[in-house]
Structure 1
Amino acid sequence: MSTITGEPTTVQAGPADPGGASVTAAGLADIITRAIPHAYTGAIAPILASVHLDAAGRHLTAVATDRYTLAAARTAYTVESTAAWSATVDLPDARALLGFADAQPGREAVLLRRTGGQLHAASDRGRITVPLLTGQTYPNWRSLLARYLSAPAATTGLTGLRTELLERWQAAGRQLHVVPSNPDKPLLIFEGTDFIGLQMPLKPLVSATWDGYVQAWRDTLGIDCGGLDPAAEGALLPDPAAAADTMAERLLHRTLLSAERLHDLPGGAESTELDKAVRGLVEPWVSYRLLHALRGADPLLAERTVEHIEDELAGGEFAETAHELAEQAGHNPRGWIEDYRAARAGQPPAPDEG
């Protein structure tokens, strides 16, 4: 299989002290997380065993490639950079930078500054300094992507893909858009407007042809004997509704049904039953309004947030996560639980410890 980048080409090195770029901690963590699966992990090309950070225009972009796939994820500045600059850090240092960003509150501003062969990242809560990779230049990723992005999409025959490379794209997002090209050209891959990638295909085997596959499956699928039933395909191929849209619909549905249940309560209902019904109405409505506001402010963030929530619910460990987050916020979750158990047992609640 040929590679995307060919021989590495040089890029202009940034000035010794180009100023800085300020981004949110969540934005920095997001772009590194989405790029890093595509970094080279061998020893032959150490410049590619890295994450390349590029500050230009209005965005900070994280880039990684092993010359079979390439990913570029960007986040907008919170404060404009004073000049364009770039910095390449090896994988251990990129993971350390990711850990630093993850440890900050999501909206915390992180100032990145490249000086004297080092990259400094600082917030109001801490700082980290990592060395830059020197002695080699990073491939000209911007020119490479521009070349394929400028070419019209076209398909000619079959395209082969290496399955082990597909796993890398999971960090980019749940729904990707793929633009095929010629069998020997990279596939363009998009997630929203802040992620772009390339995957180099395999040339199909000589024996692999479209007509050959059609003939091989013709009998099994009933193509010539009335086996086609478009009306019955819906159960197998559901419409790909967005996660945020689906959750918004569920929340509205629950709000309306909860309102009906509240109206159906008898006039002499006990206060606990009434309180439960009111909470059942208020909580999904508040959740819907917050989701609606987030979708208006940042649709991509809303979609990813809902996807993460769905994954947490499926994993079943969100109660433990809630306990940890409550402790980190300075609350007393253990006291909350003890109060609840005391109330269930008919005992007076324990004194508040904080």
Structure 2
Amino acid sequence: MSITINAHQLGRLIDQTASHMGGEYVEPLHGIRLDVDATHLYAVASDRYTLAASRYRLNHDDKGQEPFAVTLPADHIASVREWLRAMDGAAWVTLDVTDARLIFKQAQTELAIAVSLGLEFPNWRGLFRGIAEQAVEDAPFPALQSEYLSRWADTGHILRVRVSADLKAVLLFGEDFIGAMMPARYAGVGPVTDETFDSARSLWKDILAADGETADMVTDMPAEDPNAPRYEATKDVRETGESLLQEVLNSTRDVHDADYDDDRDLWFAHIRIGVANWMAYRYLDALHNADPRKAAEIVADVAEQLDSGEIGEWAWDTAEESGYTPQKWHDEHEAHVAKQMAEEPRKWAVRLARALNDAKDAGITFSVEANEHVAHDEKAEQWAAVKPEPATA
């Protein structure tokens, strides 16, 4: 009984469920249940007040095997998490259950943890099924414990919430995540006071009076000044995605204004900018869907690198560390530029010739002294950039 999962995804399953574990006096809940069926690995945890399950779709070769489940004891969660952090996120980890041991295997190391195979975990699938089938009462208004609400931040997801009744569990859905939360029954030493929406609203009648002026949080809140100067790269995922898409649209529009024949480098530059930004957007979107917290971490890290102005040095070092040859790339580029400088008109001369032609077409009278950079082609009646003369020995 074994499956494979990369270190990052396994760490993510643990992080999303660890805060929901039960205490040491309820042994079946004092840990994270790792549950494998024909298609997924699930990490499940509960302290009876909240219940959380995160899943990972199995690789093709791991699908279809006999289901198995084992509880990773809470006392070992920290050591497993540190073991995972010490390796590259893409590194493959094999989970194996042998002789009452849960074994995490990686290419260079392995971690073995004693487990109790007979430890029964609640029927978490049945619990979720029952909560999902709850009928919705009229105007439910449950009391929720704010301390427990903070646990859901560990998902790193936008969550959708279904409320069905005052005294029944709230159901939450995220990306490959499902959770449930019981309503609060006690406040301090006594029970929670029964309350309806109308009674709660009446306590704030001085500001919620029906005859007062209403406002909308979408349309009536101040917006960020789009013209305010910004001197730092954004660390916000959504703003980064917006900027990438904007650059794609700008560059694909500008390519139509660039002259392929007269300024081919500019034409290709627009193409490269559009392609690079579209690729970056798709990668960011995929990463954010897979792991919003990692996407936010990467965006913030990249923003700091951009602000430092040293991305060229980082790219060079990263290329070398990855086994590439940046010196070869540099030499090839320098040779290309030297060849271009020797055989083609200067780029500024090309743009000057285009400007002179535009001025002529606009009826502007001007004169240009004879020079080695631009010349008037009498036959074509156009200004053109002049190719450099071959260097003499």
Q: Could you tell me the TM-score, scaled by structure 1's length? A: 0.69
Cα separation, 2, equivalents of 1:49 and 1:303: 30
Partner residue in 1 for 2:200:
213
The answer on whether the counterparts of 2:71 and 2:119 sit within 8 Å (CA) in structure 1 is no
For structure 2, which runs of at least 5 residues remain unmatched after alignment? 186-190, 224-235, 259-264, 328-393
- Which one-letter code corresponds to 1:292 in the other structure? R
Q: 1:84 to 1:235 in 2, by over 3 A?
A: same
Partner residue in 2 for 1:291:
281
Partner residue in 1 for 2:149:
166
Q: 1:317 to 1:36 in 2, by over 3 A?
A: farther
Partner residue in 1 for 2:321:
330
The answer on whether the counterparts of 1:247 and 1:306 sit within 8 Å (CA) in structure 2 is no
**Pick aligned residue for 1:201 from 183, 186, 199:** 183
The answer on whether the counterparts of 1:159 and 1:183 sit within 8 Å (CA) in structure 2 is yes
1:98 aligns with 2:81: yes
Q: Alignment RMSD, CA only?
A: 4.1
Per the TM alignment, residue 306 of structure 1 is displaced from its structure 2 partner at its CA by: 5.7
Per the TM alignment, residue 56 of structure 1 is displaced from its structure 2 partner at its CA by: 0.8
- Which one-letter code corresponds to 1:25 in the other structure? A
Per the TM alignment, residue 188 of structure 1 is displaced from its structure 2 partner at its CA by: 0.7
1:249 aligns with 2:242: yes
Residues matched between the structures, number? 301
Cα separation, 2, equivalents of 1:279 and 1:47: 61
**Pick aligned residue for 1:228 from 208, 214, 220:** 214
Q: 1:237 to 1:100 in 2, by over 3 A?
A: farther
SS at match of 1:164: helix
Per the TM alignment, residue 256 of structure 1 is displaced from its structure 2 partner at its CA by: 4.0
The answer on whether the counterparts of 1:21 and 1:81 sit within 8 Å (CA) in structure 2 is no
The answer on whether the counterparts of 1:23 and 1:76 sit within 8 Å (CA) in structure 2 is no
Per the TM alignment, residue 244 of structure 1 is displaced from its structure 2 partner at its CA by: 6.9
Q: 1:35 to 1:285 in 2, by over 3 A?
A: same
Cα separation, 1, equivalents of 2:39 and 2:13: 15
Per the TM alignment, residue 236 of structure 1 is displaced from its structure 2 partner at its CA by: 3.9
Cα separation, 2, equivalents of 1:137 and 1:28: 22
1:69 aligns with 2:50: yes
Partner residue in 2 for 1:11:
none
Q: 1:195 to 1:328 in 2, by over 3 A?
A: farther
Cα separation, 1, equivalents of 2:89 and 2:206: 55
Q: 1:288 to 1:90 in 2, by over 3 A?
A: same
Give 1:1-354 correspondences, 5 Å limit: 19-40=1-22, 42-78=23-59, 79-80=62-63, 82-133=65-116, 136-154=119-137, 156-192=139-175, 194-203=176-185, 205-206=192-193, 208-225=195-212, 227-230=213-216, 233-236=218-221, 247-257=240-250, 282=272, 285-292=275-282, 295=285, 299=286, 301-305=287-291, 308-311=294-297, 313-314=299-300, 318-319=304-305, 330=321
SS at match of 1:22: strand
Q: Could you tell me the TM-score, scaled by structure 2's length? A: 0.63
For structure 1, which runs of at least 5 residues remain unmatched after alignment? 1-18, 266-273, 337-354
SS at match of 1:170: helix
Per the TM alignment, residue 264 of structure 1 is displaced from its structure 2 partner at its CA by: 9.5
Cα separation, 1, equivalents of 2:211 and 2:78: 55
The answer on whether the counterparts of 2:46 and 2:52 sit within 8 Å (CA) in structure 1 is yes
SS at match of 2:321: coil
SS at match of 1:112: strand
The answer on whether the counterparts of 1:52 and 1:88 sit within 8 Å (CA) in structure 2 is yes
The answer on whether the counterparts of 1:31 and 1:73 sit within 8 Å (CA) in structure 2 is yes
Give the stretch that moved more between structures: 61-70 or 256-265: 256-265
Q: 1:36 to 1:121 in 2, by over 3 A?
A: same
Deviation readout 1:148-190 (Å, 9 max, x if unpaired): 1233444544211111111111111231111112111111111
Cα separation, 2, equivalents of 1:23 and 1:308: 17
Cα separation, 2, equivalents of 1:158 and 1:210: 6
Per the TM alignment, residue 83 of structure 1 is displaced from its structure 2 partner at its CA by: 1.3
Deviation readout 1:63-84 (Å, 9 max, x if unpaired): 1111111111110111226311
Partner residue in 2 for 1:12:
none
Per the TM alignment, residue 311 of structure 1 is displaced from its structure 2 partner at its CA by: 4.5
Deviation readout 1:230-287 (Å, 9 max, x if unpaired): 5x7524499xxxx87764432121244467889999xxxxxxxx99x98797456414
Cα separation, 2, equivalents of 1:205 and 1:236: 35
